[in-house]
Chain A
Amino acid sequence: MTLTLTVDGERWRRHLLEVVGRNPGIVPVAKGNGYGFGVGRLARRTQWLSEHLEPSAPPVDLLAVGTYSEVADVATRFHGDVLVLTPWRPRGAAEDAPSTVAARLVHTVSRLDDLVELTDRDPGARFVLEQLTSMRRHGMTRRELEEAVGVVAQRRLRGLVGVAQHLPLRAGSHVGEVTRLLNDVVATGATTRTVLVSHLTPDELARLRASHPDFTIRPRIGTDLWLGDRGALRVTATVLDVHALERGETFGYRGRSAPKGGHLVVVSGGTAHGIGLEAPTGDQSLRSRAATIARGGLDAVGFVRSPFSLDGKQRLFAEPPHMQASMLFLPQGARVPQVGEDVEVRVRFTATHFDRVDVK
C-alpha cells in the first residue's frame, strides 16, 4: 500500500561508477530529499563509490549536502569530508551540525564578514570561498573575493580548500563565464587552484580542464549522478480499491458527479508523497505554458491528467489527490485493474517522498 521506488541495483551502480569515472574529482551532492533516495542512503552509496574506484582515479573524498541539518545524516555513513552548500552565516544553522563532525566540515563562505566571523570563532575552520556567478544567489564579486584572499593571507588561514561556483542552468555554454571566473581567481592573488563547480557538461568540463591544466576543477554533481539513468529507476503505486461508476453518480470528498460511466480507481500516493504538487520546471516555452493553461482548463470543467499510468496510458485524476491516496477515473472500455496491482507513476524525484526504496 505504498509508493515505491524500485532500483535496478546492478544497473544503477554501474551507472554511478561510470559517472564517477567520467568525472574525476567528482563531489557527489546529497541534499534535500536525497533525490528520492534519502540523504543517508546516498551517503552510504558515496562511501561505497569511494571504495570501488579505479586505482588511478582521484579519491571521492568530499560529499556535498545542502544544509547543516543534513550533516548528521551523512556523517556516520560517509567517512570523508562534508561540504555544506548553503553559505555559513554567523547565527543558527551551523550549530545544527554535530560538533563531532567539525573537523570534517567544509563551509561555504560567501561574504567577507562571514569569513572574519567564522575564523574568529575557529581559526582552523575549513572553507571554500564562493564566487558570485550570473545566477546572483550567493557569492563574492571579484573585489570582495580579493579582500577575502587578503584576509586569508593576513590571518595565515590554512583552511582554504578552494573556490566554489554555482552556475545557472543554461542552454548555451558555461565556458565563457567559468573562464572569466577562473581569471578572477588569479586576479585576486589567491594561491588555491581548486575550483568546485556545478552544471558543466562533460564537454565543457573537458574544455576548461584543457585550457586550465594548472587548475583542479572538481564537478559537483547530483541529478546526473543519482538520477542520470532513469531506466534503472521505477516508481510504482498500488491499486487500493476499484469501484464501478455510473454517469451522474457522485463520489469523492467534494461530491463531484461522474460526467460519464467508468471506474473509480483508488491508488496509493498522494500529496504527502508530493503527488499532484507541481514543482515549477522553469520551462518557459510557449508550449509548456499552453499546456499549463490547458490543464487549468481541464480542472475547471472536469478531470486533470495524473502522473499514474494504467496499461501504459496516463489516467485522469477523478478529483485532486488526497494526502496519501489518489482517485483516478477509468473510462468505460478500459481494462479494470485488480486490487493490489502495481501502477506506474511519473514523479519529480527531487520533490517526491517514497514510502519504500527497494534497491534490488
Chain B
Amino acid sequence: MSSPRKTTPSPISSPTAPLTVRTISTQEHRDFVESRPWASFLQTPAWAEVKPEWRAESVGWSRDGVLCGAGLVLLRQLPKVKRYLAYLPEGPVIDWDDPDLGAWLTPLTAHLRARGAFAVRMGPPVVTRRWSAEQVKAGIADDSVRRLGDVPPSERSQTGARVVSQLHELGWRPQAVEGGFAAGQPQFNFQIPLVDGDGSPRSEDDVLKGMNQLWRRNIKKAAKAGVEVTRGSHADLAAFHDLYAHTAERDHFTPRPRSYFETMYDALNGEADDRLTLWLAHHEDDLVAATISIRVGTHSWYSYGASSTEKREVRGSNAVQWEMIRDALRSGAHVYDLRGITETLDPDDPHMGLIQFKVGTGGEAVEYAGEWDLALNKPLYKAFELYLRRRSS
C-alpha cells in the first residue's frame, strides 16, 4: 500500500508564478466580471458611481500575466488624516476555494497599504451555512429557538469554514454583527435556488410549488384581479420613487433620494443591458407595487420594493415578486436573492414580518462568512473603531 500522505490532497501551491495585485482599468474589471459566472453587483465597477462619497479603485490579481481575480475597492478617508479605510463589499472576486488564501490576500493588502489604507474590510461572498424554509419555519414555531443559529443547519459549507479558518490565521478579524444587520452588508440572506442539486434549471411550476399556500393564493389572486406587471424605463423612476417614499413613511424608514436611484439605474445599465430592471405592478390605472431587481450573470437580486397602502387586496407585491422570479428563471439565473434577513427567529421581533414574507417563497436561509477587517495601522484602526462607536452612540 502506498503512503497515504502522497495521495491526500496537499495544499495547491501555484505551479508557476505568484499572484500580483495592481490597479486595473474599469474596462478590464468589467470584462473580468463578465467572464465569471457571477459576482456581487457591489463588486461591479459601476457600483463605484453609485457611491460617490467613496473614492474607488479597481484592483486585479494576475498570475503569469493573466488576470485571475478582481475587486472593487471603496476608499473612505479618515477625518483629518490622509489615511483610508479600504472596503471591498461582498468581495473581492477571487478563488475562495484556494486553500492558500494568503497568496491572494497578502499582495492585496500590500497594494492597499501603499495606497494609504490603514485597514482593509471585505465580505467574502462565501456561504458558511444553509437552512431550508421548513427548518426556518420550524424554528419560528419552536419557543426554545431564538436565533437561526439555534436550528441545526441543513449544510455547513467546508469551503466557507475553510475561508473563516484561514482569515483568522491570517490575522483578519470578523466584524461583530449583533442580530444580523450591521453597518455593512447583511450576513444572513434568503435565497431561492433556481437550479436543482445537479445544476439543471427548475421549472416555474416547481418554484411555485415550493412556495407556501398563502404566496400561491396571493399570486393567483393578483392574476385574477387583473394586476399587470411591466418593465419600467428611466422615465418611470419618478413613479417608483413616489410610491417608495410613501412606503417609507408608512413603514417608518428613511427613503433614499430619487437621484440615488437615477444614478444607480444609469450606472448599472450603462455597464450591461438589463443589469437593473424597474418593475411596475398596475391594477387598472393605479400603481400598486414597484420594485428594482439586479442581475449579474447567474445571480439575481430583489433590491428595492415599494407598495401602495390602497388596494392591498389585489396583492401587487406578490405579483411583482413572482414576475421577477420568472424573469430570473428565463434569464438563466441560478439564484434569486431576496437579500438580508436578521438572525432572529423570535416571534416578538419587529423584523419577523419581513422574514416570514421571504420564507413564504420557499428557498433557503444562507449565512455568509460576514465582513472581516485587517488592521494595517493598529493605532489608526483603534482610533477609527472609537470614532465609529462614538458616532453610533
Complex CA–CA separation, A180 to B174 (angstroms): 12
Complex CA–CA separation, A262 to B8 (angstroms): 75
**In the complex, B11 has a CB within 8 A of chain A:** yes
Complex CA–CA separation, A193 to B245 (angstroms): 49
B4 and A183 contact, CB distance less than 8 A: no
Complex CA–CA separation, A187 to B99 (angstroms): 10
Selected contact of A143 from candidates B11, B150, B153, CB within 8 Å? B11
User: Which of A49-57, A150-158, A242-250 forms contacts with chain B?
Assistant: A150-158
A187 and B164 contact, CB distance less than 8 A: yes
Provide the residues of chain A in CB contact with B7, threshold 8 Å.
154
Selected contact of A214 from candidates B4, B11, B152, CB within 8 Å? B152
Closest A residue by C-beta to B169? A142
A154 and B8 contact, CB distance less than 8 A: yes
A187 and B8 contact, CB distance less than 8 A: no
**In the complex, A312 has a CB within 8 A of chain B:** no
B4 and A210 contact, CB distance less than 8 A: no
B151 and A184 contact, CB distance less than 8 A: no
A214 and B164 contact, CB distance less than 8 A: no
Provide the residues of chain A in CB contact with B234, threshold 8 Å.
none
Known: A155-B4, A180-B168, A187-B158. A213 touches B11 (CB 8 A): no
**In the complex, B259 has a CB within 8 A of chain A:** no
Known: A213-B151, A213-B152. A150 touches B4 (CB 8 A): yes
Selected contact of A213 from candidates B5, B150, B162, CB within 8 Å? B150
* B contact face: mostly helix, strand, loop, or mixed: helix
Known: A151-B4, A155-B4, A213-B150. A183 touches B161 (CB 8 A): yes
**In the complex, A147 has a CB within 8 A of chain B:** yes
A186 and B5 contact, CB distance less than 8 A: no
Complex CA–CA separation, A210 to B144 (angstroms): 10
Q: Chain B contact residues (Cβ within 8 angstroms of A): what range?
A: 20 to 34
Provide the residues of chain B in CB contact with A186, threshold 8 Å.
156-158, 160-161
Complex CA–CA separation, A211 to B157 (angstroms): 16
**In the complex, B3 has a CB within 8 A of chain A:** yes
Complex CA–CA separation, A189 to B3 (angstroms): 21
* A contact face: mostly helix, strand, loop, or mixed: helix
A150 and B164 contact, CB distance less than 8 A: no
**In the complex, A112 has a CB within 8 A of chain B:** yes
Provide the residues of chain A in CB contact with B160, threshold 8 Å.
186
B158 and A151 contact, CB distance less than 8 A: no
A214 and B150 contact, CB distance less than 8 A: no
Which residues of chain A (140-182) have a CB below 8 Å from chain B? 142-143, 147, 150-151, 154-155, 180
**In the complex, A233 has a CB within 8 A of chain B:** no
B 9-41 binary contact with A (CB < 8 Å = 1; else 0): 111000000000000000000000000000000
**In the complex, A72 has a CB within 8 A of chain B:** no
**In the complex, B149 has a CB within 8 A of chain A:** yes
B11 and A151 contact, CB distance less than 8 A: no
A180 and B8 contact, CB distance less than 8 A: no
B153 and A154 contact, CB distance less than 8 A: no
A-B contact pairs, 18 of them (CB 8 A): A116-B4, A116-B5, A142-B165, A142-B169, A143-B11, A151-B4, A151-B5, A184-B161, A184-B165, A185-B161, A186-B157, A187-B162, A188-B158, A189-B158, A213-B150, A213-B151, A213-B152, A214-B156
State the 10 A-B residue pairs at the shortest beta-carbon distance, nearest first. A150-B8, A186-B161, A187-B161, A214-B152, A187-B162, A213-B152, A187-B165, A151-B4, A186-B156, A189-B158
Q: Which residues of A contact B (CB under 8 A)?
A: 112, 116, 142-143, 147, 150-151, 154-155, 180, 183-189, 210-211, 213-214
Q: Which residues of B contact A (CB under 8 A)?
A: 3-5, 7-11, 149-153, 156-158, 160-162, 164-165, 168-169
Q: 19 new A-B pairs (CB below 8 Å) besides A185-B161, A186-B160, A213-B152?
A: A116-B3, A116-B4, A147-B10, A151-B8, A154-B4, A154-B7, A154-B8, A155-B4, A180-B165, A180-B168, A183-B161, A184-B161, A184-B165, A187-B162, A189-B158, A210-B149, A210-B150, A213-B151, A214-B156
